[in-house]
């Protein structure tokens, strides 16, 4: 069993309704936005337009304006519908989430009730999720909304697999996933490296509890720890591979730099650090999909993801090198969501996932 919530016919109908709206946002309104962009592309001053120049074309268009409004309200409706469903059965959901570390469990979870939410999440609900990652039912909400949100192109953890498969194979004995959430980015390592110890670290108990239950239901052995990515409390030089998927765009620069330093500290000499995100704006604009660069930037501004604009302007290789890593490089990985690498076309324009990977010096 992957989730504990039971839905009535009415709740299912509501969920299907909002899911259809979300699909339409992408395949209907998104298509109209793309047409508007292509029709007006000749007005751009160069073939490599800035985000500001694309915004001048897109922001006045009815398709973009309605799409932005529609996206915001669809998210709100989805969260509201799910929260209503959870509210009706919250004692059962709470009991299910609290049934951790059961006898015979493959993995484990270690919670730290004294760990407070990071200060940079105190006054926002990240990507409009009510109560942020630390609300009591955040894991249930996150795992249920991510399906419709990604038009079901990540139902089999394709994004987590993209990074796991993109990292050069080695004999990693201890693997740590920072900002592991409900474990979608963690579980692939259990399959790829069955002899390794796999750890998932997140600050949010609600995400970890759900992740622990999910991992157990899938027969995967993961050790989940409630810690900050910036301060894992793991011993120096004790890990072979550190990964992070979708963590870096959601935290401010100071926390990103501290996380890179922490990864270096816990890695053994020669150990590998790899993160995965969308490509930086410059690469998106110049090599793949200028419209996607604009949409990513504006999503950050519209959908309560305040660190997106600055993160996607930053140089990740420089961030790793400044943190002490060597042999650092950006690598384009197959992206099933947009069809990059599969030849399938995607109306916004396909683009790869972007892995930044580096090593701790062997003589460190
Ligand atoms: C977008 S989610 C990604 C989850 C997971 N990696 C995945 O790919 O499904 C980001 C996660 O990072 C966690 N997070 C944010 N800031 C953190 C921090 N400072 N330390 C640990 N976890 C953090 C959040 O709680 C959330 O679960």
pLDDT given at position 10: 94
Model confidence at 255: pLDDT above 80: yes
**168-182: average pLDDT:** 98
> Measured from the CA of 127, which atom of ligand 1 is nearest?
1
Q: Which long-range contacts (CB under 8 A, 24 or more apart) does 58-66 make?
A: 58/33, 58/291, 58/294, 61/33, 61/36, 63/29, 63/32, 63/33, 63/35, 63/36, 64/33, 64/36, 66/29
Determine the Cα–Cα distance for residues 355 and 27; give it in Å rounded to an integer. 27
CB 292 within 8 A of CB 349: yes
Widest distance between CA atoms in the chain: 65
CB of 250 shorter than 6 A to ligand 1:
yes
Residues 265-306 have pLDDT tens digits of: 999 999 999 999 999 999 999 999 999 999 999 999 999 999
The closest alpha carbon to 128, from 71, 205, 55, belongs to: 71
Say what the pLDDT of residue 345 is.
64
Calpha distance 63→66 (Å, rounded): 5
* Minimum-distance ligand 1 atom for the alpha carbon of 229: 20
Residue count of the chain:
364
Residue 321: C-alpha distances to residues 56, 278, 316 (Å): 36, 20, 9
Pocket test for ligand 1, best of 201, 202, 257 (most atoms within 8 A of CB): 202
CA of 210 to the centre of ligand 1 (A): 13
- To test the pocket of ligand 1, the residue of 146, 181, 231, 306 to mutate (highest count of ligand atoms within 8 Å of its CB) is 181
Which of 122, 247, 248 maximizes ligand 1 atoms within 8 Å of its Cβ, making it the mutation to test the pocket? 247
Give the model's pLDDT for residue 151.
84
Residue 347 has pLDDT above 80, yes or no: no
Q: Identify the band that residue 1 occupies on the pLDDT scale cut at 50, 70 and 90.
A: very low
The predicted-structure confidence for 2-36, as pLDDT tens digits, reads as follows: 457 889 999 999 999 999 998 898 888 988 999 99
Residue nearest to atom 14 of ligand 1 (CA): 179
Contact 305 CB / ligand 1 (< 6 Å):
no
Ligand 1 centroid to Cα of residue 193, in Å, is 22
Tell me, what's the pLDDT at 152?
A: 87
pLDDT above 90 as % of the chain: 87
Nearest 5°: phi and psi at 269? -50, 135
Distance from Cα 249 to the centre of ligand 1, integer Å: 10
**pLDDT 10s digits, 128-150:** 999 999 999 999 999 999 988 88
Strands 267-277 and 353-359: antiparallel
List 331's β-bridge partners, or say none.
Answer: 355
Q: What percent of the chain has pLDDT over 70?
A: 98
Residue range 90-100: mean pLDDT, rounded: 95
Q: What residue ranges do the domains of the chain occupy?
A: 106-359
For ligand 1, say whether the CB of 251 is within 6 Å of any of its atoms. Answer: yes
- Residues near 275 by Cβ (< 8 Å), separated by ≥ 6? 163, 243, 244, 245, 247, 248, 316, 355, 356, 357
To the nearest 5 percent, what fractions of the chain are helix, strand and coil?
50, 15, 35
CB 250 within 8 A of CB 305: yes
Residue nearest to atom 9 of ligand 1 (CA): 184
In angstroms, the CA 157 to CA 287 distance is: 26
Collapsing DSSP to helix, strand or coil, 201 comes out as strand
Q: Above 50 in pLDDT, residue 94?
A: yes
Instruction: Name, in order, each residue with C-beta under 8 angstroms of 98's C-beta and a sequence gap of 6 or more.
Output: 209
Task: Give per-residue pLDDT as tens, 354-364.
Answer: 999 999 999 98
The fourth-level CATH superfamily of domain 106-359 is Vaccinia Virus protein VP39 (3.40.50.150)
CB atoms near residue 317 (< 10 Å): 15
Average pLDDT for 119-134 = 92
For ligand 1, the distance from its centroid to the CA atom of residue 75, given in whole angstroms, is: 19
């Amino acid at each position: 069993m992957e989730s504990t919530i039971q839905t009535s016919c009415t709740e299912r109908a509501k969920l299907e309704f909002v899911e259809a709206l979300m699909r339409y946002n992408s395949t209907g309104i998104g298509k109209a936005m793309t047409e508007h962009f292509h029709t007006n592309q000749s007005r751009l001053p160069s073939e490599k337009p800035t985000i500001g120049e694309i915004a001048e074309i897109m922001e006045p268009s009815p398709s973009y304006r309605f799409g932005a409004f529609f996206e915001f309200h669809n998210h709100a409706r989805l969260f509201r519908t799910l929260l209503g469903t959870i509210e009706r059965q919250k004692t059962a959901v709470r009991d299910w989430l609290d049934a951790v570390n059961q006898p015979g469990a493959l993995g484990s979870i270690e919670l730290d009730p004294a760990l407070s939410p990071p200060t940079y999440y105190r006054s926002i609900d990240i990507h409009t999720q009510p109560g942020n990652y630390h609300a009591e039912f955040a894991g249930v909400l996150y795992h249920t909304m991510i399906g419709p949100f990604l038009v079901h192109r990540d139902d089999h953890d394709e994004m987590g697999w993209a990074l796991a498969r993109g990292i050069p194979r080695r004999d990693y004995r201890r693997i740590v996933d920072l900002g592991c959430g409900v474990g979608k980015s963690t579980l692939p390592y259990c399959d790829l490296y069955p002899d390794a110890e796999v750890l998932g670290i997140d600050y949010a108990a609600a995400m970890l509890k759900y992740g622990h239950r999910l991992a157990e239901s899938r027969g995967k052995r993961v050790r989940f720890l409630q810690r900050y990515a910036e301060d894992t409390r793991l011993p120096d030089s004790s890990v072979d591979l550190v990964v992070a998927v979708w963590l870096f765009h959601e935290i401010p620069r100071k926390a990103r730099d501290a996380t890179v330093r922490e990864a270096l500290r816990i890695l053994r000499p020669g150990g590998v650090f790899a993160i995965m995100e969308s490509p930086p704006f410059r690469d998106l604009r110049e090599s793949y999909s200028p419209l996607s660069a604009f949409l990513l930037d504006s999503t950050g501004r519209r959908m309560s993801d305040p660190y997106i604009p600055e993160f996607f302007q930053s140089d990740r290789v420089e961030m790793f090198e400044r943190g002490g890593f060597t042999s650092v490089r950006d690598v384009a990985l197959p992206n099933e969501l947009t069809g990059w690498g599969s030849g399938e076309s995607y109306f916004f324009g396909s683009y790869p996932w972007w892995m930044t990977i580096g090593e701790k010096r062997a003589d460190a």
